[in-house]
Structure 1
Amino acid sequence: MSGPLLVLEDIRKTYISGGGLAVEVLRGVSLTVEAGEFVAIVGSSGSGKSTLMNILGGLDRPTSGRYRVDGRDVTALEGDERAALRRDGFGFVFQHYHLIPGTTAQENVEMPGRYAGLPAALREGRAVELLGRLGLEERRHHRPNQLSGGQQQRVSIARALMNDAPVILADEPTGALDSASGAEVVALLRELSAAGRTVILITHDRKVAEAAGRVIEMRDGRIVADSGRPAPSPANPSPAPAERPVAGASLWTDAGEALSAALRSLGANGFRTALTLLGIVIGVASVIALLAIGEGAKQAVMARVGALGVNLVYVVAGSGDPRLPATPLTEADSEAILDLPNVESVMPYLDTPVMVRHGNIDHRTEGLATSASLPLTHRWPVAEGAFFTRADERAGAAVAVLGHGVAERLFPRGESPLGKHVLVNNIPFLVTGVMAKKGDLTGSQSTDDWVFVPLSTGVQRLIGKPDLQLILVSVHDVGRIAQTRDAIRALLSERHGQEDFQIHDGTARIQAAAETQDTMTLLLGCAAVITLLVGGIGVMNIMLVSVTERTREIGIRMAVGARAADIERQFLMEAALVAGLGGLVGVALGLAGGAVIGLLAMPVVFTATAIAGAAASAVLTGMVFGLIPARRAARLDPVVALASD
């Protein structure tokens, strides 16, 4: 190092008042400070001494003039560079201590080291050592409100020494202390000077200033007296502030501090926090529950449609255009389709409402006249007895197979229907079998509530005409279902002379059902997301209030070296924590609510993707809506923030 440590040349500082008037606080101050000096700057209130200290420490910048630290012009330093200068070059001791409430003495002392990126073990060891040297080792886990004024000021001094800053700036360090505590603090500053630190003491008390080796008097923004610059007393004066890298604390170093600060802030305003979390909780719970309901409904519909078979082709009578004459589908059409390649089975279909009776029990249901191929075509086994046969069809036999639900209604005491007669529209039919339980496949009436009779019998005895409503075709190879469908269309168009029918396959039905349910799930999800966004606005509100309430704390952090990015990161992490906590509660509530709905009303299906997505969305929402408050905090002026109430 060569030349003075600190050099100010014609420094001026002008503030613009609320009324727009320019107020000049410093009026051409020129000053040099050698490394190792103990300098006291005295003057009455309003003389400009505190403004001068803020400029010396990089908290404020002059309106004009030059300021050099060890030959480096720092007048025009911006943002992170100015934060690095404060972090590595200067230690601040304030009149009102400026310790962060809710944190212990040790945590306050560690703070500059955290922003300098020191490892946790090194940081903690140095904090314990400094507090021990100042007689506070047994009080290191106490919070500021548990310490006396003198003890708080000693914690402030320990914090100023944390990063081994070569320059100590003390602004009225005894102003809030009794005489005994004030004397202790002055003695500590004298010891630091004797150890080689450059100490600059701002005070209005001339008796306190007498402890310094050099006294500078200010009045009306000018230096009016200077006792001179004696040579530094120590043999090895303190080095100049090192020009270290601007980068400070990493994301992971900041994470613990941000988490602690967030938890303190949440705990200090429990009721307000609960109200803020409510929006996120409801939003996340809604997302999970509504998506589970949508997924449950989708899977239920897909199960119903899928149970009919993806290997099925449906041929429906009628073109859908009333202007075209229609030729009915016939049993001969179904027999012709059976001869086509890739066709496994064909099931002609007619249905009609019927009244079924056994003993004194009547039951109104649907009667299906179909073929013996139904179990194969529908992949629907018989639970008891046997399905009617092709011989029964040819003979027009009065036999019937009961759906599972019909059997339970007509034979409620567990009696087997096999071999019994039931009346179908007052016509006796012999029961040969009971179908396995299938469930609701149509969305309206359960297939378990059907009665099945041979096609020829149904036409002759129940319906009266042979016009088929539907021909159901099952295929061997689903991969060739499109070609099979086209072959059926060509065959029937040739037989009828026109395309007076409609044809589609099971894959199309499943795709259509899936698209419909996806749309419904999307609508439910959008409704839930809106609720989540409302919760995000609540997070933004609480973070804006938090910035206002903690403005001085932000100023303290900036004074000890926090960069704008450090402040922004901390408040973003706090917003993410608030939203994440609400997200966890919302996940639990959504799972519980969905489970209750599933038990009482409808099927619900929870997916890991929906749960993880909802929780992640909560955190993301918190960060997005916390960005404005975080940036507002990061852009605060350190001097203005420190002066806030």
Structure 2
Amino acid sequence: MPASLPLIELVEVRRAYGGTDGSPAVDVLRGISLSIHAGEFVAIMGASGSGKSTLMHILGCLDRPSAGTYRFAGQEIAAFSADALAWLRREAFGFVFQGYHLIRTLDALQNVEVPAVYAGEPVAQREARARALLTRLGLETRTDHRPGQLSGGQQQRVSIARALMNGGHIILADEPTGALDSQSGAEVMALLKELAASGHTVILITHDRDVAAQARRIIEIRDGRIIADNRQSEVLAKPLLEPAGFAARMNEGVARAASLWTDTREAVTSAWRTFGVNRFRTLLTLLGIVIGVASVIVMLAIGTGTQAKVAQKMALFGTNRMYVVPGSDEARGLGGTLSEQDVPLVREVPNVAAAMPFLRGQVTLRAGHVDAGATIWAVTPDAPRILNWQPVRGQFFTWSDERDLATVVLLGKKVRERLFGSADALGKYVLVNNVPFQVIGELAEKGAVTGDSDDDDVVMMPFSTGSRRVLGKTNLSWISVLLDDVSRSDQTVKALTDQLQAAHHVRDFQIYNAAAAIQAQEDTQRTMTLMLGLIAAISLLVGGIGVMNIMLMTVKERTREIGIRMATGARQRDIQRQFLTEAVMVSLVGGSAGVVVGLATGGALIGWDVPMIFSVRAIVGAFACALATGLVFGFMPARQAARLDPVVALGSD
């Protein structure tokens, strides 16, 4: 006799669709009341449209009734959370669908393992059990075949093996023979009868009276109502699932979950498997991320390299210098002069590290039979420090040379090449306006042009010699000033102005703040670098949008797969984690490839003399942005997938 507590009990269950958008509601189930005890073999029979499939969905907790009561092992289903329903589907039910509903990207063994994956069973154990079930059903040689490589009967047996994976205490079979030939159908029915005999509760949905006749109890349904309930046998096999104590077991099972590491590992494995099946689409999706990350790395490297190169050029001319030049900056101002007596006044100003008189003029040079015009700079021995310019050969003149009006010079690279070609000029003599001077050094190449002059086309000599023996004048071209602290340059300009104006009794000079100009140039260069980075980041954003579009399309294409996973016990967070992991995996692989492509592209550009400086911060930032792109743009598709209704998902094409 049946146990006193039914395993499944429906009381006046109704299910209606529609009626929410102004359309009339359609009643599919109209007050179903029935009880099913553990160990029963029940056939629910009815014509197409009678409501039997809807009843199966409600029995299997894939759908909820619009009205009425559903109790499972005495527990009210309406009070169950989404996780509790998922656990119930995973642990208590096993679904066998007419259309098989196997996941096309998985082989037979992996399809059978799906319920155990969501149960958190270790890999080795679940694989052994899945293999044993397939062997039991005669599919030991088909474990590595995908659904498309199996016949209909074989696919249905894989579906039965999957239903048994977590125990399959209640087998819900929806038209299990409807898509099979007679022989395959007979084999499937024999399997279901064997399962019923071994204690499984089997609920068979069919429209075929001959199939229904093989069950011990036949419930006939028409127009959403039960019109007959015939029990052919009162003898029940010892049930595998007893209602008593089930509530405590369910509460314990829902509370227990696999570790985050296990869930993440399974999601990564599933994502990688999916990529392997859709290689071309995955490659196209990756391309946007690869281009975005590589662009950010290369653009920022070019910007940083260019900025460093400009800074290096600027350093040749000094980044902490000022120039005091004669003449007012007003349109009708005085011409003004600067003399050697002004230099000590400048040196007294706070934050001035050094000050040097500077006299510039044009001369004619002769070496042997070669004549050349050149610019001379008459400076003091402070020049290497103030101008940040050292001789590349020989030595600079000394303070003794300055006092003695020594006839010694240092040649710029271009002057030396015009006068001596590739020969060494050290120790040789040149005529400067017909005055013989000995070459004691060659200045380092600056390779830059300032204004209308080339700094590599100059001759440098002691200030005393240049002003008195060559140019014949002592009024200065300007005073070069070296600062201690660049950040205090504005205060220094004011102090210099006050000092010189007090001495001259008029403002007949100007102060050119090279440090401020260089700082402005560096700020401009940084802005350009940032702009390059932002332009490159746009491509990364476009790649992220591509990820979202692909994931949205993937969710739509894999809607039935989502329904299958939910039917086998996947929780909403399992679905969301899986699709979010796929999006992050695309970004992770694309980001890694983008870093490699970016570095390789940068290496090639370095070979073409493009200034490049790779920044670890930029590389890590671009990679992190790629991951963030996967999270941000993958979240909406993942959430959409998790919120799908299981019944709607299973019924999609």
TM-score (norm 2): 0.88
The alpha carbon displacement at 1:160 in A equals: 1.4
Match of 1:612 in 2: 620
Match of 1:127 in 2: 130
Secondary structure of 2:31's counterpart equals strand
Q: 1:362 to 1:71 in 2, by over 3 A?
A: farther
Match of 2:562 in 1: 554
Amino acid at match of 2:481: L
Amino acid at match of 2:5: G
Pick from 578, 581, 592: which aligns with 2:600? 592
The alpha carbon displacement at 1:211 in A equals: 2.5
- 1:601-639 CA distances to partner (integer Å, 9 max, x unpaired)? 431011222122212212221322222222222222111
Pick from 207, 210, 218: which aligns with 1:207? 210
Secondary structure of 2:228's counterpart equals strand
The alpha carbon displacement at 1:642 in A equals: 0.9
Match of 1:109 in 2: 112
**Alpha-carbon distance between aligned partners in 2 of 1:379 and 1:261, rounded to the nearest angstrom:** 62
The alpha carbon displacement at 1:585 in A equals: 2.9
- 1:203-238 CA distances to partner (integer Å, 9 max, x unpaired)? 112222222221111111111111139556233542
More displaced 10-residue stretch of structure 1: 49-58 or 632-641: 632-641
Match of 2:590 in 1: 582
Q: Percent identity?
A: 53
The alpha carbon displacement at 1:567 in A equals: 1.5
**Alpha-carbon distance between aligned partners in 1 of 2:595 and 2:305, rounded to the nearest angstrom:** 18
More displaced 10-residue stretch of structure 1: 317-326 or 516-525: 317-326
Equivalent residues of 2:176, 2:188 under 8 A apart: yes
The alpha carbon displacement at 1:298 in A equals: 1.8
The alpha carbon displacement at 1:114 in A equals: 1.4
**Alpha-carbon distance between aligned partners in 1 of 2:234 and 2:414, rounded to the nearest angstrom:** 107
**Alpha-carbon distance between aligned partners in 1 of 2:364 and 2:275, rounded to the nearest angstrom:** 68
Amino acid at match of 1:79: A
**Alpha-carbon distance between aligned partners in 2 of 1:355 and 1:256, rounded to the nearest angstrom:** 81
**Alpha-carbon distance between aligned partners in 1 of 2:13 and 2:120, rounded to the nearest angstrom:** 33
Match of 2:226 in 1: 223
Equivalent residues of 2:355, 2:480 under 8 A apart: yes
**Alpha-carbon distance between aligned partners in 1 of 2:91 and 2:374, rounded to the nearest angstrom:** 88
CA RMSD of aligned residues (A): 3.3
Pick from 539, 544, 564: which aligns with 1:531? 539
Match of 2:16 in 1: 14
1:170 and 2:170 aligned: no
* Number of equivalent positions: 641
**Alpha-carbon distance between aligned partners in 2 of 1:635 and 1:530, rounded to the nearest angstrom:** 31
1:389-468 equivalences in 2 (<5 Å): 389-394=398-403, 396-413=405-422, 415-422=423-430, 429-440=437-448, 447-459=455-467, 461-462=470-471, 466-468=475-477
Q: 1:22 to 1:209 in 2, by over 3 A?
A: same
The alpha carbon displacement at 1:169 in A equals: 0.9
Q: 1:95 to 1:358 in 2, by over 3 A?
A: farther
The alpha carbon displacement at 1:290 in A equals: 0.5
1:304-315 equivalences in 2 (<5 Å): 304-308=313-317, 312-315=320-323
- 1:186-209 CA distances to partner (integer Å, 9 max, x unpaired)? 222222222222111111122222
Q: 1:162 to 1:335 in 2, by over 3 A?
A: same
Equivalent residues of 1:279, 1:538 under 8 A apart: yes
1:146-157 equivalences in 2 (<5 Å): 146-157=149-160
- 1:242-264 CA distances to partner (integer Å, 9 max, x unpaired)? 41216755543344444444445
Q: 1:61 to 1:463 in 2, by over 3 A?
A: farther
Amino acid at match of 1:153: Q
Equivalent residues of 2:340, 2:474 under 8 A apart: no
- 1:439-492 CA distances to partner (integer Å, 9 max, x unpaired)? 5496997644433233344445459562332422265x9999999877656543
The alpha carbon displacement at 1:381 in A equals: 3.2
1:183 and 2:186 aligned: yes
**Alpha-carbon distance between aligned partners in 1 of 2:388 and 2:329, rounded to the nearest angstrom:** 29
- 1:570-604 CA distances to partner (integer Å, 9 max, x unpaired)? 11221222233332332222222222222324310
More displaced 10-residue stretch of structure 1: 88-97 or 495-504: 495-504
Equivalent residues of 1:532, 1:618 under 8 A apart: yes
Match of 2:386 in 1: 377
**Alpha-carbon distance between aligned partners in 1 of 2:477 and 2:576, rounded to the nearest angstrom:** 73
Match of 1:627 in 2: 635
Secondary structure of 2:78's counterpart equals coil
Equivalent residues of 2:39, 2:238 under 8 A apart: no
1:208-607 equivalences in 2 (<5 Å): 208-228=211-231, 231=234, 233-240=236-243, 242-243=249-250, 244-245=253-254, 248=257, 251-308=260-317, 312-317=320-325, 320-322=329-331, 325=334, 327-338=336-347, 345-351=354-360, 358=367, 366-394=375-403, 396-413=405-422, 415-422=423-430, 429-440=437-448, 447-459=455-467, 461-462=470-471, 466-473=475-482, 475=484, 491-497=499-505, 500-502=509-511, 504=513, 511-607=519-615
- 1:475-533 CA distances to partner (integer Å, 9 max, x unpaired)? 5x999999987765654343234665437585x56654443332111100010011111
Secondary structure of 2:110's counterpart equals helix
1:3 and 2:5 aligned: yes
More displaced 10-residue stretch of structure 1: 159-168 or 169-178: 159-168
More displaced 10-residue stretch of structure 1: 490-499 or 379-388: 490-499
Equivalent residues of 1:42, 1:49 under 8 A apart: yes
Which stretches in structure 1 are left out of the alignment for 5+ residues? none
Amino acid at match of 1:611: I
Equivalent residues of 1:330, 1:468 under 8 A apart: no
More displaced 10-residue stretch of structure 1: 263-272 or 606-615: 263-272
Secondary structure of 1:137's counterpart equals coil
Q: 1:154 to 1:293 in 2, by over 3 A?
A: same
**Alpha-carbon distance between aligned partners in 2 of 1:115 and 1:321, rounded to the nearest angstrom:** 83
**Alpha-carbon distance between aligned partners in 2 of 1:642 and 1:454, rounded to the nearest angstrom:** 93
More displaced 10-residue stretch of structure 1: 525-534 or 629-638: 629-638
Amino acid at match of 1:56: L
**Alpha-carbon distance between aligned partners in 1 of 2:487 and 2:594, rounded to the nearest angstrom:** 44
The alpha carbon displacement at 1:295 in A equals: 0.9
**Alpha-carbon distance between aligned partners in 1 of 2:496 and 2:199, rounded to the nearest angstrom:** 101
Secondary structure of 1:502's counterpart equals strand
Equivalent residues of 1:114, 1:249 under 8 A apart: no
Amino acid at match of 2:645: D
Equivalent residues of 1:327, 1:496 under 8 A apart: no
- 1:15-55 CA distances to partner (integer Å, 9 max, x unpaired)? 12899232211111111111111111111111111100001
Equivalent residues of 1:361, 1:410 under 8 A apart: yes
More displaced 10-residue stretch of structure 1: 217-226 or 631-640: 631-640
- 1:234-292 CA distances to partner (integer Å, 9 max, x unpaired)? 33542345412167555433444444444454444444444333322222221111000
**Alpha-carbon distance between aligned partners in 1 of 2:25 and 2:199, rounded to the nearest angstrom:** 40
More displaced 10-residue stretch of structure 1: 122-131 or 168-177: 122-131
Equivalent residues of 2:298, 2:602 under 8 A apart: yes
**Alpha-carbon distance between aligned partners in 2 of 1:7 and 1:429, rounded to the nearest angstrom:** 116
Amino acid at match of 1:9: V
**Alpha-carbon distance between aligned partners in 2 of 1:325 and 1:144, rounded to the nearest angstrom:** 96
Equivalent residues of 1:81, 1:246 under 8 A apart: no
Q: 1:447 to 1:601 in 2, by over 3 A?
A: same
**Alpha-carbon distance between aligned partners in 1 of 2:275 and 2:457, rounded to the nearest angstrom:** 59
**Alpha-carbon distance between aligned partners in 1 of 2:453 and 2:568, rounded to the nearest angstrom:** 74
Q: 1:290 to 1:341 in 2, by over 3 A?
A: closer
**Alpha-carbon distance between aligned partners in 2 of 1:342 and 1:534, rounded to the nearest angstrom:** 51
Secondary structure of 1:217's counterpart equals strand
